[in-house]
Amino acid sequence: MRYRVRTPDGELEYESLLHVEQAYVAGLVAPEDEVLEEGGTLWRKAASLPNLARAKKPANKAFNRNQTLTILVAVALGICALLLMRRGQGMLAFLASLGVVSLLWRVTFTTFKSKRR
């Protein structure tokens, strides 16, 4: 049985509820999107369908192991920069600070890219 899904961007048609479920898990169908069964007249929120409500969403990949490691390295480098400044080695502290900025820029950009998908 076919299903139509209405999103803010338009409508999509799926061959079966299994295909809708796969799209839901992949993030193509949001919980607030509306679903209509073929031959039906009642649009229902995707989150209200039992099969979709039970479907597991993939884990948020924004903070995977690489992101955590990058943040820890940035914190360690920041501490080194502070210690270098305290010892009067301003140029090395400045270079360490640039390293912190570049690492945090990478974390921010990676997180932004993963949220847009």
pLDDT band at 16 (very low <50, low <70, confident <90, very high): very high
Report yes or no on 60 lying in a domain. Answer: no
d(CA 24, CA 30): 6
Specify if 72 maps to a domain. Answer: yes
Higher pLDDT pick, 80 / 25 = 80
Residues 70 and 112 in one domain: yes
Same domain, 77 and 48: no
Of 11-25, 53-67, 86-100, where does mean pLDDT reach its minimum?
A: 53-67
Compute the average pLDDT of residues 59-80. Answer: 81
Q: How many domains does the chain have?
A: 2
pLDDT over 90, % of the chain: 54
Number of H helices, E strands in the chain: 4, 4
Q: What is the CA radius of gyration of the chain?
A: 23
Q: Is the whole model's pTM more than 0.85, yes or no? A: no
pLDDT exceeds cutoff 60 at 58? no
Which residue range(s) make up the domain with 69? 65-116
- On whether residue 59 sits in a domain, the answer given is no
Query: 4 has which bridge partners?
Result: 13, 36
Is residue 76 domain-resident?
A: yes
Specify whether 8 is located in the same domain as 47: yes
Q: Which residues pair with 3 in a beta bridge?
A: 14, 37
